[in-house]
Structure 1
């Protein structure tokens, strides 16, 4: 299984690099066979989590470096604003994978896209994508986590409003107060 995941990580990295914006015509999506393989790889939680960790850390290390749970946790502990280039490549590739998926089978890519949208503070897009993933695969773990974060008005861990100190914002979130508004489960 470890070799299979490393193969998936390498395919993700190569495909994402090819999707990076460059001068000239927009990059073409990988071939259908590669997109199908990427969909299967994204269905594996460990590999999907490695893709997420690589993306949120800026994509400088290879995805295979995050196949260890400790590396994924460290990536989340070092949470920061998104790297526009890494996110653009991951979002473009995830979109291509979702579009190429057979009807009703796109949840792995849609869940990834929902998480990336939430991390980018695009709650409306995250909500639509997460619910699409849940329609295709009820109980999809990552999509369900995104919906819970949105329902709780929980911002990405890197989010710190400019008018408050980081320590003050963390204390407010810990007390259930998000972005200056008490979260009580209501609208």
Structure 2
């Protein structure tokens, strides 16, 4: 056996030089790689999305065309007037990139969530109704109103009006009579 005298074998030197050469090639490739162009700062898309949704809703409900023509007009306002109109810019990362000299504020009313949204406002929401309000419904007395409240507390909100069938004392016939006066909103 040969004693170790501190000499490095030629295989170890060759291996080390290969590793150093590979590292140098990787570093050179990393520095010479063309940099990807950085995108501009945050771009506001809320107005574009709102106008697209409004256009889709307008196409679905063509009857509101003439009535809302004046209401959906876009009005230019200065930046300071935009804050007075309720446009909140505090959470934007860069206000100068997001706000131009003129901002547009729509005077259009909020789009309805459902087609039957206006007629549902006259109906009683069984998920939020009190015992007294339920008692006022045709065919529902104090005991059934109490049973509806207990079922709602035990099983959670009613997904649909037909979920009232799970309440003891409410059948198909009574439900048919109630369908025109109640709604189950989530």
Task: Please give the range of the TM-score, normalised by the shorter of the 2 chains.
Answer: under 0.3
TM-score between both structures, scaled by the size of structure 2? 0.24
TM-score between both structures, scaled by the size of structure 1? 0.24
Structure whose residues are more often strand by fraction:
2
Structure whose residues are more often helix by fraction:
1
